[in-house]
Structure 1
Amino acid sequence: MALTVADITTDHRAYAEHRPDLRRQMIPVRAERRVRVGDLVVAEFENEQTLRYQVQEMVYTERLTASADVAHEIEAYSRLLPDSHVLTATIFIELAVLETVRDELSRLAGLQHSVSLEIGGQRSAGVEIPGLDEDPDVPSETVSVHMVRFTLSDELRDAFRDPAVPAELVIDHPAYGDGTPLVAATRRALIADLALRS
């Protein structure tokens, strides 16, 4: 990611003054990248703008000031940067009833491995991006937030970049199956992501 420690302010008072304006600017950006799949799952596709904002918010809310801590946040979020053959999303499982969260997450175990992009009838399975401190060889527990990467072949990338080819974000889990077409502003934003790097 082009983002560096120097791009992130650790002057928390100064950031607080501009924070409401930045939040308002991000609302439409995130809205066009937000896809609801059924009643419980929302995916937010990431790009450099959304990731820069998230790093700055983490630095602000955690009151980080040390360069090493800021660099750690940049490293964590930079793994979500899309490129010419990769789209990434943060997957949220939205559970409103606190008393049943544990049971619902148990019922939805493995959902983070059941997300895919279907493009013109072919699928690219989402692969979970583990946390920096997580062992990628150890299966992750299903929690309410997961980061997922979709890697596209040349054929799938080119098909996705053609708005005439149908594309859908799909969840195919024994306890939760649904799909949502990727159209209009969302599709245009993701096509732009795939054009960023070769």
Structure 2
Amino acid sequence: QEMIRTERIVDPQKIQEEQDVYNVWLPQAGELSATLFIEITDPVNIQSLLDSFQGIDRSDTLSLKIGDQTSFAVFEKGHSKEDKISAVHFVRFPISHALEAQLTQLDIPTFLVISHPNYQAEVPIFWEMRQEWVSDLQS
């Protein structure tokens, strides 16, 4: 919707084309989808800093850690090459019924984890976001 409004697209065929492009990123049953945006605010070093994230789309780099279980992100292909990486990545997290059940339990900690040689982070996912995720998984 945003792109259609922003670009003032009114032709029904063009609207359908836009929908077809973005609808593939709606999550399927048993998964959550997200956009990973690598924001670099230093305009002088943007390319070298972005290049330092090479390999972030490996299968073991980005994950959701729910209690003692982990769901690794599945990256859309085509956003990085051996010598170049995009700042935007589309990812999916497969969520089993067991993981979904753990998301509903407030006493089980949940984190978004990035484990890359040049960047490590572990960010807690708070209850309000978890409730939204569970709602998404159940719809």
Instruction: Please give the range of the TM-score, normalised by the shorter of the 2 chains.
Output: 0.7 to 0.9
User: Does residue 154 of the first structure (1) align with residue 101 of the second (2)?
Assistant: no
Q: TM-score, normalised by structure 1?
A: 0.61
Q: Equivalent residue for 1:119?
A: 66
- State the distance in 1 between where 2:106 and 2:24 align: 27
Counterpart selection for 1:177 from 117, 120, 128 = 120
How far the C-alpha of 1:98 sits from its partner, in A, is 1.2
- State the distance in 2 between where 1:149 and 1:59 align: 24
Note the residue ranges of structure 2 that are not aligned, 5 or more in a row.
none
How far the C-alpha of 1:139 sits from its partner, in A, is 5.1
- State the distance in 1 between where 2:134 and 2:73 align: 17
User: Does residue 145 of the first structure (1) align with residue 92 of the second (2)?
Assistant: no
Percent identity (aligned): 32
User: Does residue 166 of the first structure (1) align with residue 109 of the second (2)?
Assistant: yes
SS in structure 2 at match of 1:112? coil
Q: Equivalent residue for 1:107?
A: 52
Counterpart selection for 2:42 from 73, 97, 108 = 97
- State the distance in 1 between where 2:108 and 2:115 align: 21
Q: Equivalent residue for 1:18?
A: none
Q: Equivalent residue for 1:61?
A: 6
The CA RMSD measured in Å over matched residues stands at 2.2
SS in structure 2 at match of 1:81? coil
**Which aligned segments of 4 or more residues in structure 1 are displaced greater than 6 angstroms?**
none
SS in structure 2 at match of 1:70? helix
1:120 and 1:165 in contact (8 A); partners too: yes
Q: For 1:70-122, what per-residue CA distance to the aligned partner results, in whole angstroms no more than 9, with x for missing partners? A: 11221222222235411111111110011111001111112233211111122
Instruction: State the aligned residue count.
Output: 136
Q: TM-score, normalised by structure 2?
A: 0.84
